[in-house]
């Protein structure tokens, strides 16, 4: 949604997502289904890409940490840290969670029935002794403290920042960056018996994706890198905030690379009020939801009904209620009623707005300003602060105010008046103005919906004759770095144009009412 919105603003966007593939657990999972690890990951990445495509996610690069360019960038950076003395070898004994593949201190662990357990997985922690390479995180403790003081905007939301600051204040321990005993990873360039372990591999994807000019990187492009780095935001799950807000800055400082401008930690979706868990069978996939309710419903529900910074919830009941209320009753009904009436009375041609409304009615230009602000600034502010739910509330509020406008102006009664022989020019002007303003309101509603539910937005705009083909001034063709070309309605057209003309097409119902399937 954010990437789409930024593209509407005409900004250069690079949106990276992908799969973190290296780990002993992945190797084990592949062995279990008797597949080569690479083949197993190929299948996994393919599945996720297909799902993302179905979800209309406009990524520029789907990076896999097993990609060859990524290997070069990781090896270069860890070598650099090694040369700088920030990576060193030591023997280590600690409490290890095999699911997290992370060491915990006694203090961080929780006490369960069988002794100390992983705070996340609630499984017994194993005492493990290993000789590994470590990254000197402790060296960067004060620099991190200062950074959070001088640049609080680096990590959002606030309550996550507070958690991280208190974590840093407890003192930082060096973390291990290599493992032995399995092969599925990037070999350490200075000790190939070891593979690079999780964070010195996964986090670096952000640099690889924007063509970091490491020696031997087949995709190196210094100019491209300069254009997109430092990036505006890393959007990460709350469970990996620490790695992005503590480990990653220190790794970048060690390499002399600028930090990303911000990190935003989002919450998790629960299912029927409980944590999703494959082992407990409490799980629903985006594909299942799209099969039952469609892509628009999935996107609308996840974005509009759940705060992005906190945890959210999914249930079949909730998605049905929310989408029927917002999409079918509020937005869909409005569009269908207005387009049906306008098409019936004016055909393809457009009613003209003469700014003549019944007495005492607030026009739609000022309703637009109330919900979206002048120049739709409130929508931009919602995106700037990652208040995606707030963005959607403004859109439904505006749609609601258009419905109210209809109830107040009663265009169906006006239609009867203008058909009488005694109808005046003023009667006709009022009828045309009412419908023209509604259509212009719906055009704006359609544009505002595009980042959230793009295909529904395009279907709304198409009924008004606003399409990429017919009215190219309303759209931009944007070539994603993946090579795919998408047409993007322009943010600058999100404003009330009193003289706007439309070329209507026959109305098409948009959002069928959802029902729970057994
Ligand atoms: Zn764990």
Over 80: is that where the pLDDT of 470 sits? no
> For residue 90, how far is its CA from the centre of ligand 1 (angstroms)?
23
Over 70: is that where the pLDDT of 44 sits? yes
> For residue 188, how far is its CA from the centre of ligand 1 (angstroms)?
25
Which residues lie at CB < 5 A from ion ligand 1? Answer: 97, 99-100, 118, 120-121
> For residue 102, how far is its CA from the centre of ligand 1 (angstroms)?
7
Q: Quick one: fold of 2-275?
A: Rossmann fold (3.40.50)
> For residue 299, how far is its CA from the centre of ligand 1 (angstroms)?
30
* Strands, E assignment, 254-385: 262-266, 269-271, 312-314
> For residue 177, how far is its CA from the centre of ligand 1 (angstroms)?
18
Mean pLDDT across 509-516: 94
Q: Under 8 Å CB-to-CB from 439, ≥6 apart: which residues?
A: 338, 339, 342, 350, 351, 464, 500, 502, 504
> For residue 125, how far is its CA from the centre of ligand 1 (angstroms)?
8
d(CA 307, CA 297): 17
Q: Read off the pLDDT of residues 350-374 as tens digits, 9 standing for 90 and up.
A: 999 999 999 999 999 999 999 999 9
> For residue 103, how far is its CA from the centre of ligand 1 (angstroms)?
9
Contact 217, 70 (CB under 8 A): no
Mean residue pLDDT across the chain: 95
> For residue 117, how far is its CA from the centre of ligand 1 (angstroms)?
8
> For residue 98, how far is its CA from the centre of ligand 1 (angstroms)?
6
> For residue 17, how far is its CA from the centre of ligand 1 (angstroms)?
24
> For residue 109, how far is its CA from the centre of ligand 1 (angstroms)?
10
Contact 336, 505 (CB under 8 A): no
Listed by start position, the domains of the chain span 2-275, 295-493
Over 50: is that where the pLDDT of 471 sits? no
Q: Which CATH architecture is the domain 295-493 placed in? A: Orthogonal Bundle (1.10)
pTM across the whole model = 0.94
């Amino acid at each position: 949604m954010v990437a789409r919105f930024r593209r509407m603003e005409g900004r250069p966007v690079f949106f990276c997502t992908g799969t973190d593939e290296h780990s002993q657990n992945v190797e084990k999972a592949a062995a279990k289904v008797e597949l080569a690890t690479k083949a197993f990951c190929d299948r996994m990445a393919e599945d996720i890409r297909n799902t993302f495509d179905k979800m209309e996610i406009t990524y520029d690069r789907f990076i896999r940490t097993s990609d060859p360019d990524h290997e070069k960038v990781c090896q270069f950076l860890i070598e650099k840290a090694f040369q700088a003395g920030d990576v060193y070898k030591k023997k280590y004994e600690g409490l290890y969670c095999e699911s997290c593949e992370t060491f915990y201190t006694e203090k961080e662990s929780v006490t369960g029935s069988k002794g100390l357990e992983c705070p996340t997985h609630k499984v017994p922690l194993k005492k493990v002794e290993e000789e590994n390479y470590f990254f000197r995180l402790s060296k960067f403790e004060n620099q991190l403290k200062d950074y959070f003081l001088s640049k609080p905007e680096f990590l959002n939301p606030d309550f996550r920042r507070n958690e991280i600051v208190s974590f840093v204040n407890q003192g930082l321990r060096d973390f291990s960056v290599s493992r032995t005993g399995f092969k599925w990873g990037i070999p350490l360039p200075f000790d190939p018996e070891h593979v690079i372990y999780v964070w010195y591999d996964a986090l670096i994807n952000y640099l690889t994706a924007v063509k970091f000019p490491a020696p031997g990187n087949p995709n190196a492009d210094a100019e491209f890198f300069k254009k997109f780095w430092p990036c505006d935001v890393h959007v990460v799950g709350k469970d990996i905030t620490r790695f992005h807000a503590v480990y990653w800055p220190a790794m970048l400082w060690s390499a002399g690379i600028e930090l990303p401008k911000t990190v935003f930690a989002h919450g998790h979706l629960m299912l029927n009020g409980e944590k999703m868990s494959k082992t407990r069978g409490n799980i629903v996939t985006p594909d299942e939801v799209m099969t039952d309710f469609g892509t628009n419903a999935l996107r609308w529900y996840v974005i509009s009904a759940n705060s992005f910074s906190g945890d959210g919830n999914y249930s079949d009941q909730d998605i049905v209620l929310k989408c029927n209320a917002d999409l079918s009753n509020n937005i869909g009904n409005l569009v269908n009623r207005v387009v049906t009436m306008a098409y019936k009375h004016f055909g393809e041609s457009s009613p003209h707005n003469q700014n003549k409304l019944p007495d005492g009615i607030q026009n739609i230009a000022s309703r637009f300003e109330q919900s979206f602000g002048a120049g739709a600034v409130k929508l931009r502010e919602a995106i700037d602060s990652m208040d995606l739910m707030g963005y959607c509330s403004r859109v439904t509020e505006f749609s609601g105010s258009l419905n109210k406008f209809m109830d107040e102006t009663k265009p169906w009664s006006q239609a009867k008046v203008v058909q009488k022989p005694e109808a005046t020019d003023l009667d006709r002007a009022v009828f045309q103005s009412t419908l023209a303003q509604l259509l212009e309101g719906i055009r704006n509603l359609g544009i505002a919906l595009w980042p959230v539910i793009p295909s529904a937005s395009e279907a709304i705009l198409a009924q008004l004759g606003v399409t990429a083909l017919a009215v190219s001034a309303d759209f931009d063709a944007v070539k994603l770095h993946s090579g795919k070309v998408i047409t993007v309605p322009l943010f600058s057209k999100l404003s009330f144009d009193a003289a706007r003309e439309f070329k209507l097409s026959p109305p098409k119902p948009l959002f069928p009412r959802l029902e729970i399937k057994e």
